[in-house]
């Protein structure tokens, strides 16, 4: 975001007025756009409210904006002359569309992180810069910077990456497959999006875990799906619940994250895995298995995926580079029957014409390189270290106020706040004190749960962050 | 695609049977999947039909596949034992979904190109490897291979790329804007997809050019939009037609490609541009301006975009790297009011969680580098050279059988076949003779038009390609 230059000779209010005039003239804020309130803009720019009042007065004097009591400040409708010309009612367009906006909590979190880069971040579900193999990837790029062909890629994805994944899946996930059964996607998010858009029809019932990161994805509602819940206990979801939901609602698909589930960290029990596959094959019911965290298993021994014991072909398997290496590469994959891969690849062509070859080349080289295994080992050690820092801090700062199970893999700790607490108030108070987290209700749970991502924050900030969180919690409970 | 090894000691039929057994066991072809006919598989693998008959017989003997007269060959349902276990009916899932598959002609073209890499390609609307700045991009990557942060990117796109685009748009397209008004997308395709999904509602009427590449995009129908046509004459669309469509159908948006229109190559007349903007502002009607070809203008002087003379804020401007540098980077941009940018960025997060930072960094460096301007100059010269080769060949091979206007920019030549001809037969005959093109009906025109992309084929193949096309046309006309 633009910020005034405090070293300039030009007064701050004049800089702000000039910036708005420029942006309005460029069309960033078309006529009729509501501008931020004086208070909010002052906060965003880190200036006094009086400075913003002066800036807005300047713009009003120029006829560029109009303020009316009760309805705030807007860009003037008729600044371009006497003929009434109409800007499209962008507001109405923005409210339209079949695609639902993100949850308010998630938008609030994103906004807070954009406004204050100093926040200690337990909310973003990704690896911090310290855990990502940026140097290794840079070294690989430097070794082989040339890309022979920069035209449109194969709709299923870069062939050498698919070939590398065949070995990777066999070696690390015990999945035997072929390059033609793999679709490369822009991370698990796009795999899920393609499945919900292309394989399901509005009105279809699907089952998701409770709690689940799937609740945080309005794409399920945008696709018109009816969501039914499979409670997650210490051993994961129960196969009987799948059968019951099928009988009652004819669910069409089941979405599971069996290893180090997001947000709970739970691992699906081995016996239940076999039973689930039996239920699925009995009912002809597809299971979407999202498996982003397995390679973070702190002991290096994640349970094999459902897909590896699926003899009937019930499972669509989703993997990704994001949680074990670098979310910013945007490289994920799906293993599915060929007809499904073809259908989804065709649809994806229409959405974005496929993935860039550059990150796919980088991902293929990294997965196939001697850097990959040492990176995983370092990652596991560091995640375990950060997890323990978090747990120690919680036990020290909030004894008797929180309870949690200790995750054995993944990036998150799922934490129950024992006394009754208002999620919204707690989040705002935490942000005010310099720390941010993901409220449990984002994942469909009741109020009073928190997902702490310990992978993102720097190790040295975890203790401070939890101290701030504890202070916020006590302030809200008082 | 897998191919049998002709140097192996193992008979071809056995290799084919083994490959199918492996792929079926991996779940690529679940039980019940229809397998290719013997004739088709023989063609795909380049073997005799008798070889495939032997391979299928082998698999039948193992109980892995079943053949029934009239319904072809399928993977057996019950190969896993006596208990009937059901694979999900993937066929039904694949047929479902709100997202329409690509047009049959486009799927046919893609399939033909995948099966025969020797086809002379006048169909793929992109630059050939000889025109793309792969070396320059490789050199830039080599100079600066490191990426500091590999976490999730800003939802609007990589900040340094947006800043570079502010200068680029001012210098090359006479558009004054700010980084916060720009959304980076996976090419124009994703810009259009986001607009149709998020700003329009099923049932909305929109206007597109006739003919238009928009017809080739089922995304418009998938979004439930009603399409109305604006005929393109030598000067482009007529503003009165926009007004008439608005009166009759209350169109909600107009999609235009004013410079070197795809597929016709037409440039929208200057006077009509001003009138169009007047109509748009009178009706409060948004115009989506797709501007991928301007920098290919052979004289280096493309007309300025609508956006540069849009004082009211009616225009959503779409640009891309694809047609002027490298489609495989998948980097495009949209300039729009901030509220629109925010809405689309939010929705895009849900679809794919944003673009990879790697190609965005590459694009920013290339646009800001000393390589960019010389690349453009070389590109224009080479496009002009290829265009002239194509025109000479058409005039030599098909005098009096075709007519066309000479494009002054872009990658395509739009060609009318004067005698009556069947699009489908002509395409198949051309493929058989080793050349491929895009039939005009893909773009919504009547039968008997052809779009030749002259940017993709090698210069030395253009003359041969047109000779093959001419032979195909004469064969079909006979």
Highest mean pLDDT pick, A137-151, B95-109, B216-230, B320-334: B320-334
Give A-chain residues touching B102 at CB under 8 angstroms.
346, 349-350
Task: Give the number of C-alpha atoms closer than 13 A to the C-alpha of residue B298, restricted to the C-beta side.
Answer: 19
Per-residue pLDDT tens digits for B274-286: 999 999 999 989 9
Integer Cα distance of B162 and B337 in angstroms? 15
Task: For residues A289 and A240, state if they share a domain.
Answer: yes
Task: For residues B69 and B156, state if they share a domain.
Answer: no
Final residue belonging to a domain, choices A326, A352, A370: A370
Give A-chain residues touching B28 at CB under 8 angstroms.
177-178, 180-181, 337-338
Nearest chain B Cα distance for residue A216, angstroms = 10
B113 by Cβ neighbours in 10 Å (0-12 / 13-18 / 19+) ranks as middle
Interface test with A, best of B127, B154, B328, B336 (most A CBs within 10 A): B328
Report cis status (omega within 30 of 0) of the bond before B33. no
- Between these two residues, A290 and A22, which has the higher pLDDT value? A290
pLDDT of residue B26: 78
The residue of chain B nearest to residue A126, with distances taken between CA atoms, is B151
> Residue A209 is part of a domain; what is its CATH number?
3.40.640.10
Query: pLDDT over 70 for what percent of chain A?
Result: 98
Per-residue pLDDT tens digits for B293-334: 999 999 999 999 999 999 888 999 999 999 999 999 999 999
Split at pLDDT 50, 70, 90, the class of A1 is low
A327-336, B211-220, B450-459: least confident range: B211-220
Split at pLDDT 50, 70, 90, the class of B58 is confident
**A3-24: buried (b, 16+ CB within 10 Å) or exposed (e) per residue?**
ebeeeeeeebbebbbebbbebb
B332 domain-assigned: yes
Let me know: does A52 contact A45? Beta carbons within 8 Å.
Answer: yes
Q: Which two tokens stand for residue A245?
A: 């939901």
Give B-chain residues touching A157 at CB under 8 angstroms.
none
Integer Cα distance of A243 and A281 in angstroms? 11
Mean pLDDT computed over every residue of chain B: 91
The DSSP H or E segment spanning A66 is strand A65-68
Task: For residues B219 and B339, state if they share a domain.
Answer: yes
Final residue belonging to a domain, choices A330, A354, A370: A370
Nearest chain A Cα distance for residue B400, angstroms = 35
B139 domain-assigned: no
B149 closest CB neighbour out of A102, A129, A362: A129
Task: For residues B360 and B470, state if they share a domain.
Answer: no
Interface test with B, best of A44, A152, A190, A216 (most B CBs within 10 A): A152
pLDDT of residue B171: 97
Let me know: does B306 contact B267? Beta carbons within 8 Å.
Answer: no
> Residue A45 is part of a domain; what is its CATH number?
1.10.10.10
A26 closest CB neighbour out of B80, B177, B282: B177
Give B-chain residues touching A198 at CB under 8 angstroms.
94, 96-97, 99
Interface test with B, best of A75, A252, A351, A357 (most B CBs within 10 A): A351
Split at pLDDT 50, 70, 90, the class of A81 is very low
Task: For residues B218 and B351, state if they share a domain.
Answer: yes
DSSP states along A171-190: HHH-----GGGEEEESHHHH
Domain range enclosing B57: 12-95
Let me know: does B55 contact B47? Beta carbons within 8 Å.
Answer: no
Task: For residues B310 and B400, state if they share a domain.
Answer: no
A291-312 average pLDDT score: 95
Q: Which residue has the tokens 């397998």?
A: B35
Task: For residues A145 and A271, state if they share a domain.
Answer: yes
Q: Contact B286/A110, CB-based, under 8 Å?
A: no
pLDDT of residue B80: 47
B172 domain-assigned: yes
Nearest chain B Cα distance for residue A134, angstroms = 6
Task: For residues A186 and A112, state if they share a domain.
Answer: no
Determine phi and psi for B205, rounding to 5 degrees: -95, 140
Split at pLDDT 50, 70, 90, the class of B82 is very low
**Residue A154, phi-psi category: left (phi > 0), alpha (psi -120 to 50), beta (remainder):** beta
Q: Is the pLDDT of residue A121 over 50?
A: yes
B136 domain-assigned: no
Q: Is the pLDDT of residue A428 over 90?
A: yes
Mean pLDDT computed over every residue of chain A: 91
Q: Contact A30/B312, CB-based, under 8 Å?
A: yes
Task: For residues B169 and B288, state if they share a domain.
Answer: yes
User: What's the domain count of chain B?
Assistant: 3
Task: For residues B271 and B214, state if they share a domain.
Answer: yes
A429 domain-assigned: yes
Q: What is the largest CA-CA distance in chain B?
A: 76
Give A-chain residues touching B456 at CB under 8 angstroms.
151
Task: For residues B436 and B452, state if they share a domain.
Answer: yes
Per-residue pLDDT tens digits for A219-257: 888 888 999 999 999 999 999 999 999 999 999 999 999
């Amino acid at each position: 975001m633009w910020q005034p230059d405090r070293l300039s000779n030009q007064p701050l209010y004049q800089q702000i007025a000039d910036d708005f005039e420029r942006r309005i003239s460029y069309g960033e804020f078309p006529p009729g756009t509501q501008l931020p309130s004086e208070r909010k803009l002052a906060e965003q720019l880190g200036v006094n409210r009086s400075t913003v009042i002066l800036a807005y007065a300047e713009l009003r004097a120029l006829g560029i904006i109009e303020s009316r009591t009760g309805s705030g400040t807007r860009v003037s409708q008729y600044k371009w002359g006497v003929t009434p010309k109409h800007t499209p009612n962008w507001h109405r367009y923005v409210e339209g569309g079949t695609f639902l906006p993100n949850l308010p909590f998630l938008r609030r979190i994103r906004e807070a992180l954009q406004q204050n880069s100093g926040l200690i971040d337990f909310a973003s579900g990704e690896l911090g810069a310290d855990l990502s193999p940026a140097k290794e990837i840079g070294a690989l790029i430097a070794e082989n910077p040339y890309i022979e062909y920069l035209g449109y890629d194969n709709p299923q994805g870069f062939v050498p990456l698919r070939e590398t994944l065949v070995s990777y899946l066999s070696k690390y996930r015990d999945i035997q497959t072929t390059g033609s059964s793999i679709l490369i996607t822009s991370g698990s998010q796009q795999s899920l999006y393609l499945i919900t858009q292309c394989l399901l029809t509005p009105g279809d019932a699907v089952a998701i875990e409770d709690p689940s990161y799937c609740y945080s994805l309005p794409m399920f509602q945008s696709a018109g799906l009816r969501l039914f819940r499979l409670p997650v206990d210490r051993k994961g979801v129960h196969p009987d619940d799948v059968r019951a939901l099928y009988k009652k609602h004819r669910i069409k698909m089941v979405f599971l994250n069996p290893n180090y589930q997001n947000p709970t960290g739970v691992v699906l029990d081995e016996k239940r895995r076999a039973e689930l596959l039996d239920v699925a094959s009995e009912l002809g019911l597809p299971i979407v298995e999202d498996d982003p965290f397995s390679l973070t298993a702190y002991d290096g021994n994640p349970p094999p995926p459902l897909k590896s014991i699926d003899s009937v072909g019930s499972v669509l398997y989703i993997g990704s580079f994001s949680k074990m290496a670098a979310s910013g590469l945007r490289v994920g994959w799906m293993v599915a029957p060929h007809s499904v891969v073809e259908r989804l690849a065709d649809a994806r062509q229409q959405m974005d014409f496929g993935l860039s070859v550059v990150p796919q080349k980088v991902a293929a080289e990294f997965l196939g390189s001697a850097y990959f295994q040492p990176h995983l080992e370092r990652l596991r050690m560091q995640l375990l270290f950060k997890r323990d820092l978090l747990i120690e801090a919680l036990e020290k700062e909030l004894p008797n106020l929180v309870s949690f199970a200790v995750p054995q893999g993944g990036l998150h700790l799922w934490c129950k706040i024992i006394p009754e607490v208002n999620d919204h108030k707690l989040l705002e108070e935490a942000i005010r004190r310099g720390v941010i987290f993901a409220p449990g209700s984002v994942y469909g749970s009741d109020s009073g749960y928190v997902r702490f991502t310990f992978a993102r924050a720097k190790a040295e900030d975890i203790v401070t962050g939890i101290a701030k969180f504890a202070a916020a919690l006590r302030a809200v409970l008082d």
